[in-house]
Structure 1
Amino acid sequence: MKGRAVDLVLAGSGLCAGALMFVTGQWQARVAPAWLFVPLVVCCGALLLRRTAPLASVLVGTAAVAGDVVIGPSLATPLVYTQVLYDACLHGRAALARALLAVSVIGSVVTAAVCLVVVRDVRALGLAVLLALVTVVPILTGSHVRHHRDQATIARRSAEQVARLAEADRANAVAAERAGMARELHDVIANHLSAAAIHATAALSADLGPDGTRQALTVIRENSVQGLAEMRRMIGFLRDPAAVAEAAPGGLAALDDLVARCGVPVGLSVTGAPERVPVSVDLAAYRILQESLANALKHGDGGPVAVAVACTAAAVDLRVDSGLARRPVPGLGGAGLIGMRERAALLGGTLTAGPDGDRWIVAAHLPLDAP
């Protein structure tokens, strides 16, 4: 609607300008002066088609100029015709602009040649120059403006695409960060709270005697203190990412301490050189073993758990073999397996976990050349 109003204003302005020229005597009519307005009105009407039908607008405008030459000629109609050509190049197809330019250049050259050959007067070249001004100049101007407009459109779309990609990257980064925080919170806090809950349940549901009750309370206290310490380290890391070394757990080098406080008997076998494992793989291996031992405590049969860690030059292989007989303690289910698989996948490794008869096997392969 706004574009249509602009077309009407433009056509009306051309008509008013032509009327003003007519009043001031800027015309030469071979017929009755009233007919001079016919080509002008037709040419102004062609402006109404400049957006919807550029080719039709050019054809109507050309016919109006031809009629004006026969009747007059006047100055107003050719001036309006320059706007018609300009708009055709601006709003029409690129092929139309190229065709108009070719025709106008050829027409100007042919006119100049005819003037020199037939009239044999250099002053007759003024007609060719006038034809070039009326046709070639507005066509070149419209094509130039269209080129810059198209370039601006391409640049704007490119900027919008870059903005969308940046927003997608930001959203992915936030999602990955939230997933990482969820894994860390689960591994840091949930395992200690699970151990505390299991021993509290045992102390409440059975007569353990003074020694058993004291042992259960000792385990509850140790897990509570350890969980609080790890929570403080994690909060410190979130506040200051440079404190990653302080926030990270001991890794594979601290497996003896992990085994000692896991709450189940563990047979630990470590081969290779854990101290040469990269930090990212070291942390992932530690968390996977931590979660596996916590699951053995929550869901195992209370028997020995076999933990094997093999460090080679290419990867770290983990295997946790535990009994599967105890019924799960209500309220202790979580997302441990999901977190372990995510940790392995982030390093380009694999993790499988599932029953094998009456045993529960967790096996992980973590390559050292992590992406």
Structure 2
Amino acid sequence: MRPWLSNWSVAVTAGVLTAAGAVSGLGRHRIPLEADLASAAGMVLAIGFSPVAPLPVLAVVTVTAVVYEALGWGSPVLTFAMIAALYHLALRHSRRFAWTAAALAGGCWWAATAIDAPSQLWSLPSLSSFAWAGLAVAFGDSVRNRRAYVAEVEDRARRAEQSREDEVRHRVAEERLRIARELHDVVAHHMAVINVQAGAAVYALSRQPEAAEPPLNHIRRASGVVLKELAAIVGLLRQPGDTEAEHQPQPGLDRLPELLETFTASGARITFEQVGDVRPLPASGNLAAYRITQEALTNARKHGDGGTVSVRVTFERDRLVIEVSNGVPEKVVPGAGGFGLIGMRERAAAAGGTIGTAKTGQGPFIVRAELPAPWQHEE
């Protein structure tokens, strides 16, 4: 039931019962029937309108009560009206304001009793106006505090739910970015190899058709690797319920020789050097090391001068250092840069490492990656 409907239902019911009691002779002998019925009607209006305008209702009820007391028509019906007005006043206004209004209303009512019976000024019936006013405000204040507490709890629940939704969206965005990096690394590398081999095949077909077979075989193998890795990556999206063990392992430095072979097969000249004691790396660092090397080699193949590319992997005391250097052509094509360096920096940062580049004078262009590689002691 709606609040206003329930409020008016209580008001009308109380008014009807009061009027019935007055008509049947159960009313007070000192108050005329007309005044008793008028007080009952006033109570109905006071209870009905007190949720909307409690302060005006309280003022009217207090003035009416003072008049009735002055005429010797003490009416408990008006007490009910005062209680309803003070209750709703405590719900809508501050605690200090409500208690001040209760003290003023109770004081006016108590002082009015001196007009009719001065000797009863300090009697319990006369002082009861303060008690009823205090009870009404205390009850209204407790209900208001309860509602405020429930509203605060609901608001916290909504904020917590919103925070969970924001966290889910953030994780989804991070996962999409990770997949985008994987796709870029896989496709950029192998498509660069395919492009070079396709050019070699076209050249061989026009002059030495029998020499076109090796480049075409490289294209077939590279495209097969692209399709295989794309299927593995996209499979993570199609099967979100699979466990990590069901997926193919991510590449790491153990597959670095295979990666170098693919570049060498495409015609690139690569020198490789490994320094230090090889040791297992954290999963994130192992993948980042492979992908950073792959992207650096791809960039060297696309933007270098076509000379020898040097790859150096150094296992230091608590870190892994990867350096990839290549020559730079005399004329750099404007707009040839892409997002490779940005992707490498993001991968290194995600693994707790850093990426740096250097180019001095006529020297080579160097990409240097430093990744955490702590010793793992057996317990």
Asked if TM exceeds 0.5, the reply is yes
In structure 1, the residue matched to 2:366 is 361
User: 3-state DSSP class of the match of 2:355?
Assistant: strand
Kindly state the Cα deviation for residue 276 of structure 1 after the two structures are TM-superposed.
2.8
Q: Which amino acid aligns with 1:340?
A: M
Distance change in 2, residues 1:14/1:30 (3 Å): same
Post-superposition Cα deviations, 1:70-108, rounded to whole Å, max 9, x if no partner, equal 341223221122111111112222333454677899999
Q: Which amino acid aligns with 2:250?
A: A
Cα distance in 2 between the residues matched to 1:171 and 1:270: 42
User: 3-state DSSP class of the match of 1:310?
Assistant: strand
Find 1:248's aligned residue among 233, 250, 253.
250
In structure 1, the residue matched to 2:115 is none
In structure 2, the residue matched to 1:115 is none
In structure 2, the residue matched to 1:155 is 153
Distance change in 2, residues 1:148/1:86 (3 Å): same
Post-superposition Cα deviations, 1:294-345, rounded to whole Å, max 9, x if no partner, equal 122222222111122223343322221122339999xx98643332222122
Distance change in 2, residues 1:21/1:312 (3 Å): farther
Maintained 8 Å contact 1:301/1:324 = yes
In structure 2, the residue matched to 1:322 is 326
Distance change in 2, residues 1:150/1:11 (3 Å): same
Q: Which runs of 5+ in 1 are unaligned?
A: 111-117
Find 1:268's aligned residue among 266, 272, 275.
272
1:337 matched to 2:336? The reply is: no
User: 3-state DSSP class of the match of 1:348?
Assistant: coil
In structure 1, the residue matched to 2:228 is 229
Distance change in 2, residues 1:98/1:133 (3 Å): closer
Q: Which amino acid aligns with 2:80?
A: L
Maintained 8 Å contact 2:320/2:373 = yes
Post-superposition Cα deviations, 1:243-287, rounded to whole Å, max 9, x if no partner, equal 2773311x1122222112123211222223442321110111110
Matches within 5 A, 1:1-371: 19-25=19-25, 27-28=27-28, 33-35=33-35, 50=50, 54-71=54-71, 72-99=73-100, 125=124, 128=127, 130-131=128-129, 134-204=132-202, 207=206, 209-210=208-209, 212-235=211-234, 239=239, 240-243=242-245, 246-249=248-251, 251-262=252-263, 263=266, 264-325=268-329, 335-353=339-357, 356-357=360-361, 359-368=364-373
| Greater displacement, 213-222 / 279-288 | 213-222
| Two-structure CA RMSD over aligned residues (Å) | 4.1
Q: How many residues align?
A: 356
Distance change in 2, residues 1:42/1:356 (3 Å): farther
Kindly state the Cα deviation for residue 12 of structure 1 after the two structures are TM-superposed.
6.4
Cα distance in 1 between the residues matched to 2:283 and 2:41: 82
Q: Which amino acid aligns with 1:248?
A: Q
User: 3-state DSSP class of the match of 1:277?
Assistant: coil
Q: Which amino acid aligns with 2:341?
A: L
In structure 1, the residue matched to 2:116 is none
Maintained 8 Å contact 1:269/1:307 = yes
Post-superposition Cα deviations, 1:45-75, rounded to whole Å, max 9, x if no partner, equal 6557645654444334333333333341223
Cα distance in 2 between the residues matched to 1:340 and 1:307: 16
Q: Which amino acid aligns with 1:23?
A: V
Post-superposition Cα deviations, 1:135-181, rounded to whole Å, max 9, x if no partner, equal 23332322222221111100110011001101100100110111111
Maintained 8 Å contact 1:191/1:294 = yes
TM-score norm. by structure 2 comes to 0.76
Q: Which runs of 5+ in 2 are unaligned?
A: 112-118, 375-379
What percent of counterpart residues are identical? 29
Cα distance in 1 between the residues matched to 2:74 and 2:107: 22
Q: Which amino acid aligns with 1:243?
A: A
Q: Which amino acid aligns with 1:63?
A: V
User: 3-state DSSP class of the match of 2:371?
Assistant: strand
